[in-house]
Amino acid sequence: MQDVLAMTYFWLKAGHIIFMVFWMAGLFMLPRQMIYLHPASEGSEASAMWAKRMGLLRKVILTPSLIVVWVLGLLLAMAIGAWDQGWFHAKLLFVVLLTAFHGIMVARAKKMIAGERPMTEKQLRIWGEFPGIALAIIVVLVVVKPF
């Protein structure tokens, strides 16, 4: 198994990076779309439009990308033997936090589509910063490998 993973390492890495970019783009877009939905009244044309867009974002980009990122990331970790490296454990923690963020935002988006407003626009703007901060930390961990 290790030989097969070593031969495909660069393909796994390329796929992991590509789908990570897709996933991050979706994580940046979802809070912004929620901000646009926020002032729309329930049942309005604007509400229906943003609900459709958020549903498509979730089904076409966010969830498939999340799954591919996890699968390819775990295969990469096996290929390079990252399990005993400190930087990898820290990276894994931030990927778990991004996954939790994904789930929280999707659940809140569904509530907003149903007419609830579980967060203010200001809270959505603040929460929308988390993926960028986590991404910066993950990139430093992977590239610099500080520990």
Instruction: Point out the annotated binding site for heme.
Output: 16, 91
For residue 95, give Cα distances in angstroms to 1, 17, 41, 69, 88: 25, 13, 35, 10, 10
The answer to whether residues 23 and 66 touch, using CB atoms and an 8 Å cutoff, is yes
For residue 76, give Cα distances in angstroms to 2, 7, 40, 41: 10, 11, 43, 46
Residues annotated in a binding site = 16, 91
Q: Which contiguous run of DSSP H or E holds residue 14?
A: helix 9-37
